[in-house]
């Protein structure tokens, strides 16, 4: 099988095999790996045969977004085009693997090594290629259910796809950065964008900080050594986390109802306070939302902090006690730094979570109350505004452009925070 003529380190076989592999499989056949060669040939044939149409239609569609109504649907063409790009990327990967395989095997022949049989290379797959085998199901799913939709959304931002450019009557077109420019130049978009962004930032900061402070406070409170019924308090404090969030939000929506909710009819009434327009005045809806998120969010921080507190070595406190530290000093010098160090990632997650906390905003009052001169409600954050633009007013391109801005914003902040927390850990 293998040629045992020892030549000086020459790459003759390797080069020829790689060159022949321009048609996948030929190089392998030249290397006398019959099964593998036929396999590669077959896959390449099937690939070209199966996807030729997709490439043809896909790339044409991706560039033109259709030319004729009602035959062409711009959005379907865009989707097909992106799928064609992904399939092509996978094809190129396969092609490269084929070239590399032919070259490597040819090289082995040049060096006078025995060519591995199909059976042996199957074992190779199970061994050397094991990580690829483990990763590929997850990655494939990720590509088609996450990466592809995100790419698609991003692509939409550069088209003019909306109610007036929809199939079957109309086509959409590539418009470049026009939609982005509109967000900042058209008055109504700009003012809405900045007021929504402003509330989103305030909402994120206040709601998250409130949950974090309350969570840590109660964890420290219950952690006191001489406190009785610890188990009982912990179960009570964890309850808001254990009940599904969407249920609690809808319950609160009822309790805060202006006319029949218990807050107005029972609690405020008993205190002699006039009914507050919780759902019809943006200012009060915001107060209600922050309170509810505090209620919903602190138990999670509470349980994690409790876990961290239990892991702080006891001798740290004993040493502090010897030095005559007060309770406050112990908290600020030992407990708090320890909590911060252990919980930084979880604390950051709180902020990104609330930044995208669609559920509470939408389920509580649909982002309302409605505002005059604005496409967003009085308490809409970016994500709930995007949702409404997509589902209620078919402003797809605008929604997509906002999505990109939002993602850039989140990633920038998260990366900055991440680097800071890394520095924090090392410092």
Q: Which parts of 258-317 interact with another protein (CB under 8 A)?
A: 259-262, 265, 295, 303-304, 306-308, 311
* Binding segment toward another protein, per CB under 8 A, in 20-28, 104-112, 193-201, 225-233: 225-233
Residue from 68, 187, 226, 314 binding another protein (CB under 8 A): 226
The only residue of 241, 317, 331, 338 in contact with another protein, by rule CB under 8 A: 241
Query: What is the C-alpha to C-alpha distance for residues 351 and 403, in angstroms, rounded to an integer?
Result: 18
| Candidate residues 94, 233, 317, 338; the one interacting with another protein per rule CB under 8 A | 233
Q: Does 138 bind another protein (CB under 8 A)?
A: yes
Paired tokens of 283: 């200012």
Q: Which stretch binds another protein (CB under 8 A): 15-23, 31-39, 150-158, 174-182?
A: 150-158
Binders in 28-67 for another protein, by CB under 8 A: none
> Per-residue x/- mask for another protein, residues 99 to 128, rule CB under 8 A?
----------------------------x-
Binding letters toward another protein, positions 159-198, x by CB under 8 A = ----------------------------------------
- Kindly indicate which of the ranges 14-22, 105-113, 193-201, 358-366 contains the residues binding another protein, using the contact rule CB under 8 A: 358-366
Find the binding residues for another protein in span 388-407 (CB under 8 A). Answer: 390-391, 396, 399-400, 403-404, 406-407
Tell me if 219 contacts another protein by CB under 8 A.
no
Q: State how far the Cα of 88 lies from the Cα of 37, in Å rounded to an integer.
A: 21
Count of residues touching another protein (by CB under 8 A)? 93
Query: Closest approach of Cβ 165 to another protein, in Å?
Result: 13
Q: How far is the CB of 12 from another protein (least distance, A)?
A: 27
Stretch that binds another protein, among 38-46, 114-122, 317-325, 344-352 (CB under 8 A): 344-352
Residue 9 or 260: which CB sits closer to another protein? 260
Residue 371 within binding range of another protein, rule CB under 8 A: no
Q: By CB under 8 A, which span of 60-68, 112-120, 153-161, 169-177 interacts with another protein?
A: 153-161
Which region, judged by CB under 8 A, interacts with another protein, from 8-16, 55-63, 197-205, 216-224? 216-224
- 3-class DSSP string for the chain: CCCCCCCCCCCHHHHHHHHHCCCCCHHHHHCCCHHHHHHHHHHHHHHHHHHHHHHHHHHHHHHHCCCCCCCCCHHHHHHHHHHHHHHHHHHHHHHHHHHHHHHHHHHHHHCCCCCCCHHHHHHHHHHCCHHHHHHHHHHHHHHHHHHHHHHHHHHHCCECCCHHHCCCCCCCCECCCHHHHHHHHCHHHHHHHHHHHHHHHHHHHHHHHHHHHHHHHHHHHHHCCCCCCHHHHHHHHHHHHHCCHHHHHHHHHHHCCCCCCHHHHHHHHHHCCCCCCCCCCHHHHHHHHHHHHHHHHHHHHHHHHHHHHHCCCHHHHHHHHHCCCCHHHHHHHHHHHHHHHHHHHHHHHHHHHHHCCHHHHHHHHCCCCCCCCCCCCCCCCHHHHHHHHHHCCCCHHHHHHHHHHHHHHHHHHHHHHHHHHHHHHHC
Cβ proximity to another protein: between 20 and 77 the closer is 77
């Amino acid at each position: 099988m293998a040629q045992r003529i020892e030549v000086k380190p020459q790459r003759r076989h390797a080069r020829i095999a790689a060159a022949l592999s321009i048609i996948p499989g030929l190089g392998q056949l030249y290397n006398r790996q019959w099964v593998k060669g036929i396999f590669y040939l077959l896959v390449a044939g099937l690939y070209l045969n199966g996807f030729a149409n997709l490439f043809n239609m896909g790339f044409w569609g991706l560039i033109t977004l259709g030319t004729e109504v009602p035959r062409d649907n711009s959005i379907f063409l865009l989707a097909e085009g992106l799928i064609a790009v992904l399939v092509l990327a996978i094809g190129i990967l396969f092609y490269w693997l084929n070239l590399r395989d032919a070259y490597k095997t040819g090289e082995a022949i040049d060096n006078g090594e025995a060519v591995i049989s199909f059976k042996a290379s199957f074992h190779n797959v199970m061994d050397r290629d094991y990580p690829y085998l483990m990763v590929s199901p997850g990655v494939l799913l990720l590509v088609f259910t996450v990466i592809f939709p995100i790419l698609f959304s991003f692509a939409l931002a550069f088209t003019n796809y909306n109610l007036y450019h929809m199939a079957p009557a109309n086509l959409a077109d590539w418009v470049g950065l026009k939609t982005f420019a509109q967000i900042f130049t058209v008055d109504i978009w700009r003012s809405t964008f900045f007021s929504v962004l402003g509330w989103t930032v305030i909402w994120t900061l206040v709601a998250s900080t409130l949950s974090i402070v309350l969570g840590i406070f109660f964890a420290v409170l219950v952690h006191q050594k001489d406190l009785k019924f610890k188990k009982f308090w912990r179960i009570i404090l964890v309850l808001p986390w254990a009940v599904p969030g969407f249920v609690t939000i809808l319950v609160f929506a009822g309790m805060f109802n202006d006319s029949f909710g218990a807050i107005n009819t029972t609690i405020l009434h008993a205190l002699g306070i006039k009914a507050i327009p919780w759902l019809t005045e943006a200012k009060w809806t915001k107060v209600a939302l922050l309170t509810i998120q505090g209620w919903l969010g602190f138990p999670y921080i509470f349980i994690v902090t409790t876990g961290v507190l239990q892991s702080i070595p006891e001798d740290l406190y004993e040493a502090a006690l010897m030095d005559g530290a007060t309770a406050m000093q112990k908290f600020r010098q030992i407990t708090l730094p320890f909590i911060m160090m252990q919980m930084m990632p979880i604390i950051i997650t709180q902020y990104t979570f609330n930044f995208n906390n669609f559920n509470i905003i939408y389920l509580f009052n649909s982002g309302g109350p409605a505002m005059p001169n604005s496409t967003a409600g009085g308490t809409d954050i970016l994500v709930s505004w995007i949702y409404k633009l997509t589902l209620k007013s078919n402003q797809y391109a605008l929604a997509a452009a906002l999505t990109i801005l939002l993602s850039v914003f989140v990633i920038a902040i998260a990366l900055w925070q991440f680097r800071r927390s890394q520095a924090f850990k090392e410092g």
